[in-house]
Amino acid sequence: MSTSLSPLLAPMLSSAAMRAVCDDVTCLQHMLDFEAALARAEAATGVIPATAAGSIGKACKAGAFDLAALAEAATRSGNIAIPLVKALTADVAKADADAARYVHWGATSQDVIDTAAMLGLRAAIGALLSDIDRAIAGFGKLARQHRDTAVVARTWLQHALPMPFGLKLAEYAAALHRSRTRLQRLRSETLALQFGGAAGTLAALGDKGLVVAERLAQELKLPLPDAPWHTHRDRIAEAASVFAIVAGTCGKIARDIQLMMQTDVAEAFEPSGEGRGGSSTMPHKRNPVAAATALAAATMAPNLAATIFAAQVQDHERSAGPWHAEWPTLPMLQLVTSGALAAIVDIAEGLEVDAARMRVNLDATHGLIMAEAVTMALAEKIGKSEAHHLIEAASKKAVAGKQHLRDVLTSDAKITAQLSRERIAELFEPMAYQGVSQALIDRLLASLDAK
């Protein structure tokens, strides 16, 4: 299988479904699908003989073409469509010399390549949506299971407050769902036929240009834009941005899982399996391999998207150079995005959660994680500034004396004058201080039902 990733690395960094989408034979077939659909559209509108369309369509089979020869010829012609059309014309001529006259009638090479890219993007979005649905479902299920599981919320990598682990998981699902919406919108609103002829005027078709374009769009099931867009690449750039956002969201989730898998944290783990996450020298290791894949993709995707953004700056009506830069970049971006998402599906469907260890970690600071809860309760009695001062001093004393904050507070007359020992004990229950977390979980989970 030929992709823009090394065959040795492709299975690690991309999904099988996306490798099929980005396969050279598949991409070539999309170009030939354009040629066959063009012939049918022109036959239907009386531009070429009806018999010609049948002969052209029969020859539009990617397996009949020599990819290596086309690639070599493209180095001389400047793009792959020119030698492809030449080869297709020759093949059609073998069976129907008259039909060969009408191959690629009124189109230009960019029409072929850009429309094939649109067909590829449509298939790529389909592959991503299939996986993203699985990841959303996986994290949604976990969120419901762990809505009452307390875990440390970390800010600046430090212990901050307790939170329900289910809230974290619901946020993962909701972020992925937002990308799902973007992908659906991209498929329905951004993909479009490219058909403009040599300079975007369809002059070669006379007054039949628009009727042919309309029929061609119907044949390929692509929206017909208001006009050809040869050097207006916002559609491609929008696709790149959506893919990069998907990869980035996957990277964020992967970073969290990677950190939670640290030996010193050990709160949640990727699914285990024979030979998975091992070391070549250390038999005890359990490395976060899926997270590593997602993080690799999240590192690569922004730069690939940046190349697509830079390629928007194109000259006049047809461009040389920036357009060419899209060809290897867009498939690569599709591939690594699929790899990130496939890794996250793996995590979402097999995450192992250690709730007991989460509780141990909540107690690791000897009650300091509940300092805000005590401060706010005390503030109701004596005001926030004074309460903050008292709890800050108590926290420092607890650290210096290696004591639990609760013990320091219950031995401080200034505190116990305002809060009973029983009330102080209640304030050290993590899930008693979660604010509106449960309502937020409900809201996030409800958002997953939006289509």
Residues catalogued as catalytic: 279, 318
- Provide the token pair at 63: 């397996």
- Provide the token pair at 338: 């699929």
What is the Cα–Cα distance from 438 to 433, expressed in whole angstroms?
A: 11
What is the Cα–Cα distance from 203 to 213, expressed in whole angstroms?
A: 12
Under DSSP, the state recorded for 159 is E
Instruction: Decide: helix, strand or coil at residue 174.
Output: helix
What is the Cα–Cα distance from 270 to 258, expressed in whole angstroms?
A: 9
Q: Are 109 and 79 in contact (CB under 8 A)?
A: yes
Consecutive H or E run containing 72: helix 67-77
Instruction: Decide: helix, strand or coil at residue 177.
Output: helix
Stated length of the chain: 451
Instruction: Decide: helix, strand or coil at residue 361.
Output: helix
Q: Are 120 and 30 in contact (CB under 8 A)?
A: yes
**Which stretches of 261-363 are DSSP H helices?**
289-310, 322-350, 355-362
Sorted by sequence, the CB contacts under 8 Å of residue 209 that are 6+ apart come out as 106, 197, 201, 202, 203
Cα–Cα distance list, 385 to 376, 380, 391, 392 (Å) = 10, 11, 10, 11
**Which stretches of 351-436 are DSSP H helices?**
355-362, 371-382, 384-400, 405-410, 413-416, 421-427
CA angle 377, 383, 388 (to 5 degrees): 70
What is the Cα–Cα distance from 319 to 314, expressed in whole angstroms?
A: 5
What is the Cα–Cα distance from 383 to 443, expressed in whole angstroms?
A: 33
What is the Cα–Cα distance from 274 to 55, expressed in whole angstroms?
A: 54
Of 409, 414, 385, whose CA–CA distance to 395 is shortest?
Answer: 409
Under DSSP, the state recorded for 190 is I
Q: Which amino acid is at 304?
A: L
